[in-house]
Structure 1
């Protein structure tokens, strides 16, 4: 909104909320690249470990063009040095696990395709008495044909995974011996790093975040409420307060360019009423009111394109592709029946799932570990609760149609008559049966209903 009406008190006071687009190409955007304090969020620095060597070099060269205005908050520096091993280990695990995950998912696709074919065959025989068409389907979509088709796709997928492994130069051990990123980042910031806030200041800020800002959903960081310790949950707010302190110094600049891949609702106001998602206007108002500085928030891809456009850095199109991919939130971790016994379940997830399933007051610690993971997954799958942010995707079934059951599963008639509807056509996971024996009657019936509803959604091989 421009013109003389901008001088009206109401419009001036709420200018940030009235802006149509805070992430567009405003006329003063270039000033943020030539005259602003630039703060890179932890995720921007950790992404350097995810780029290929060539892309990393281009990104670091681009950052060198704004070196004199970069500043590293203590919170970002701490999270960066602590998070290096995790980023590399997660990437290594994802790439190492990929072939097995590809095989498993293609195996599931194989079973689903054949089950779909058999379903249609059954319909042809039952309702059309067309055995010839049924046999033709069996010939066209045979097990061998499906294996051949999926085998070609498997080769293509595994080849891509192998290429990804070859393109990256870092292994977990290299962080301690030959880390090519840390010295470059240290040289990039030089002396422009913050000292740690004093313990009393940190304590006061954590209390402010947990007791006031988070309950009232005041950005930034309120979506982290309840994650880990109060200190770790308040990380975004601790960063925010450090930046405000820096801008109130006598030499503080009057513009702040904050670069982050974090686009959660505690940094960005969700899209609504035809308006796109945008950084929270309240962040801009708070920064201006407390420091007199203007705020601009950009994603890494948008920022590096600005560096290229305004400061003439040379960044290749392929490097932008890597930047944009690294900024995409990681895929949810998947918990399978094989992995569940080795993976601790977060207590808050177990509690939320127990409540959603009607097991209030029952100690999840008494139940089979696999059962708890199943409960976490099935309550989301059936819409009993919303998944928490970064919650793993759980692929575990408590029961299966007899033709699809795993070896060692227990016949469905082992469950009580009147409690389980598919006693003659199903088999039940042993861990599920064990946990049922620990539950009171009403809770046992509740979880069996969940298992039956989950089974109803599974493809059935029998016509």
Structure 2
């Protein structure tokens, strides 16, 4: 390092300037839980509406046991209240959605049975018997899904005066929520947040597709954490279900800890060490440090929700199942050529040029590509209406215009979908 003396160099050790690479010990986590600042992200609070009643109770018990070490940035609560009713609605409809999907699978199973029965000339009475047995099984599963869903959600409503989640959160967060930034500081933070997004600097740049200044929301949370940690001069444990690389240092696909840049920024701003945990790991660590018993299955339920959320966030709101259903619907309606183009674009770094599209689809040279994306957009919209992908899900395919108005030069798929598309099985090779 320029200007560094020999004495300075000899004073350094293995983890000096590289503290982010030190694996936290049980003692480290116990220390920050009992003497530091524990900060849950907005997604942790929102996911309380997605957990089972048992898992929700255990996580709320852990948060409540932190007492004055618990602190929530004002921006995290902005995100909580902005998204609470949408999250509640999505979670409440999950049982209905699952039941509807089960009905769709039942119809497909009956069609498959009928096709097979016709092919082997199975007698009609035997076919009817098999169809009846199939319908009974699917109907039984649907009834159980609806029963469990209704029991789980019967006490949770949009009414905050009767919401059991709010009833527990309100006393737990009393006096433990940060103040909003002044207008001047807020404006400066927005500018800095958008700069970081533009330069791919953590945190928040993975949210660059959000509208307006929404991409700066993570930085607002981070700036408020930095200020509170500097004031308390303590270590920080940030608990988040956000598994993206603009928060986490990833090694071979695994989250190993906070980004080194964030660790260093906290230190230079006057805080202590930075630790990060997902909600399920936080629950395990907190139960040990705060000495309370977890109910069986709570950690697994929280981990399941995290896994779903990580998949959706990583792939722009799409999951493997939703994307496969889109492809199936396109093929069923006779638009298998669109599926082929989407897969080709994913293999070609997200773009399929017009010449390749004519070749893949075997179109005559005088055919126009106008409206080529309409079936994809329409069917993706249907999946949004069915709540199989969120409203915020990224586009699947859109036209590219390299030379301004006129014929499309090609079509692209959203970059976040490329690894997901490439992971799907190639039906032509099966």
The bucket for the TM-score relative to the shorter chain is: 0.5 to 0.7
1:444/1:217 Cα in 2 relative to 1: closer, same or farther (>3 Å)? closer
1:287 and 1:294 in contact (8 A); partners too: yes
Structure 1 CA distance, aligned partners of 2:64 and 2:410?
62
Identify the residue that residue 393 of structure 2 maps to in structure 1.
Answer: 391
1:254 paired residue among 230, 234, 241: 234
Query: In the alignment, which residue of structure 1 is the partner of 2:203?
Result: 220
Matched residues in 2 for 1:162 and 1:10: separation? 59
SS in 2 for 1:316: coil
Count of matched residue positions in the alignment of Structure 1 and Structure 2: 351
Q: CA deviation at 1:79?
A: 1.2
Q: Who is 1:82 aligned against? A: 82
CA–CA separation in structure 2 for the residues paired with 1:442 and 1:145: 53
SS in 2 for 1:195: coil
Q: Which residue of 2 aligns with 1:420?
A: none
TM-score, scaled relative to structure 2: 0.67
Whole-Å Cα distance in 2 between the matches of residues 74 and 39 of structure 1? 11
Q: Does residue 323 of the first structure (1) align with residue 302 of the second (2)?
A: yes
Whether 2:188 is the aligned partner of 1:209: answer no
Between the aligned partners of 1:197 and 1:445, the Cα distance in structure 2 is 43
Residue from 143, 147, 152 that aligns with 1:168: 152
Question: 1:100 & 1:291 partners in 2: Cα distance?
Answer: 53
Runs of 4 or more off by more than 6 Å in structure 1? Answer: 335-338, 387-390, 439-446
User: 1:318 deviation in Å?
Assistant: 3.0
Mark the structure with the bigger radius of gyration: 1
Residue ranges of structure 2 left out of the alignment (5+ in a row): 1-8, 313-317, 331-344, 356-369, 382-388, 398-404, 413-425
SS in 2 for 1:270: strand
- Aligned positions of 1:88-127 closer than 5 A: 88-111=88-111
8 A Cα contact 1:271 1:278, kept in partner: no
Identify unmatched segments of 5+ residues in structure 1. 1-5, 122-133, 339-351, 361-365, 378-386, 397-438, 447-455
Q: TM-score, length-normalised on structure 1? A: 0.63
Q: Which moved more, 1:40-49 or 1:154-163?
A: 154-163
Counterpart CA distance in 2 for 1:84 and 1:441 is 43
| 1:397-412 correspondence to structure 2 within 5 Å | none
Aligned to 1:346: none
Partner residue, 2:143: 159
Partner secondary structure for residue 243 of structure 2: coil
How far apart are the structure 1 equivalents of 2:286 and 2:411? 61
Equivalent pair of 1:92/1:171 in contact (CA under 8 Å): no
2:36 maps to 36
Corresponding position of 2:359: none
Which range moves more in the overlay, 7-16 or 153-162?
7-16
